[in-house]
Copies of this chain bind each other. A is one copy, B any other.
Amino acid sequence: MVNRSIGRETILEIPFPANFRLKSLSSDLYDICFMTVYINFSTPVEGDFEIDTSKVFNQPFTRYPKEVVEKIKKTLPRFKEKFSTMVVCGMGGSSLGAKTIDSFARAFNEANHGLVFLDNVDPTLVKQTLESLDWKNTVFCFVSKSGTTLETVVFLNLVLEELRRRNLPVEEHVIFVGDRGKSFEEMANSLGCEFFEIPSDVDGRFSVLTSTGLVPSFFADFDIDELWEGAREVLRDQSEDNPAIKLAKYKMDNYLNKGRNVSVMFTYGNYLFPFSFWYSQLWAESLGKEGKGQTPLKALGTVDQHSLVQLFREGPDDKVYQFVKAREIKWDTQLPEHTQILDYIANKKVSEIFRALYEGTKEALIQTGRPVISIELDRYSAFNLGYLFMLYMLATVAAAQILGINPFGQPGVELGKRIAKERLQKGL
């Protein structure tokens, strides 16, 4: 931990000996540790909450799913050889993680294998998606822990019907991901399809590092070993100094002691934006219980500088801000030597403009006295995304401990589901 001061910001910086890739570094290079994830808090971390760290780190989602990884490496190359596209069919925790991975990958990978997501029963979307597919070159991955998620079962029935209509073999075009002993395993067995397990003690929204996220990732040429290395990096120091614990304390201090009931996730860049959807689900669904819960708000930089920043700076002081940005960008463009209208952008790179706008907005919020957490990745990489996933899952469990609630399960959505089911059964 290093305390340092940059300009007006008093920064608590937590450096990590990251890019720590055993497979790529020889032993005498261990000392060369590239910093890859930087976390700063614009105000001191107060929150003197007591945390039982052993309970935070001893969670099912922190276990490396060795068998699944081995099965993926053995089984999926056959699908990659045959198919160029995988359609991931799943709702919420069954797709948001893979969507984040897919988007991240597009910022640095030149992958040949594409993911498409079917994650809403919007009738127009369903029709347009299914009609636009090149079915012969497509494999469908159905993800549902329970195997009875209404929307996902709708997709399944539509896809099975269409495969039959086209005389395409179901066992080649369909993969199932779900809990053992539930309907998806049964379907896989009866249809002769591949089945990948989600450990039953890992909740859907904490399952991105299990089959849920890893099967689509591997298909999309995203390095799942590196993803797990990043995740493991967060587990290295299991004390209260762990950044996940600090993050939880900081946010809960702002919520419980300062009434900041909105938690902004301000991702800079379109390729990072899906992370804010994954985060929103995790934070809202895990902590929104017993009248408690901080509302997650997604913001996209620089777009939302033109939409939400006015409220952030001059509206009520009821928010805590998390900025996430990658420092280095693989693909960039340079502006011409002579520019029209604004001469000070001549010869600049687009990434410099982007960074200046990011710094300007962050600095303006800090000057206004808003609590700002900034998380900077050295670049888009599987390692850094694995780090982010684990950081936020642990922070969520720690925050739940501070709130005294159970972060798992989602009892509040059952009534809506029951009403929907009744309406369908009664033909309303």
Contact = CB atoms under 8 A, between A and B. Distances in A.
Interface of A: 91-93, 96, 106-107, 119-128, 130, 147-148, 150-151, 153-154, 156-158, 160-161, 183, 187, 261-262, 268-271, 277, 280-281, 284-285, 287-293, 295-298, 300-303, 305-319, 329-333, 335-336, 339-342, 344-345, 348-354, 356-357, 359-361, 363-365, 367, 410-413, 415-421, 423-425, 428
A130 B126 CA distance: 29
A91 B303 contact: yes
A280 B308 contact: yes
A147 B340 CA distance: 11
A419 to B, nearest CB: 4
Contacts of A120: 269-270, 300-303
A271 B424 CA distance: 24
Ranked 6 nearest A-B pairs via Cβ: A92-B306, A288-B311, A360-B420, A293-B315, A288-B315, A281-B307
A364 B187 contact: no
Given A331-B123, A335-B158, A360 B295 contact: no
Contacts of A308: 280-281, 284-285, 288, 296
18 contacts: A91-B303, A120-B269, A121-B350, A122-B270, A124-B271, A128-B331, A150-B353, A150-B357, A153-B341, A157-B340, A261-B316, A284-B307, A285-B306, A288-B315, A291-B315, A295-B315, A360-B417, A361-B420
Contacts of A314: 288-291, 293, 411-412
- Identical copies in the complex: 2
Given A91-B302, A310-B410, A312-B412, 12 more contacts: A91-B306, A92-B305, A120-B303, A123-B333, A130-B333, A151-B302, A157-B336, A157-B345, A285-B311, A293-B315, A297-B297, A314-B411
Nearest to A183: B341
A334 to B, nearest CB: 9
Contacts of A93: 306
Contacts of A261: 261-262, 316, 318
A397 to B, nearest CB: 16
A251 to B, nearest CB: 15
B91 A415 contact: no
A296 B307 CA distance: 10
Contacts of A281: 306-308
Given A297-B297, A413-B310, A339 B288 contact: no
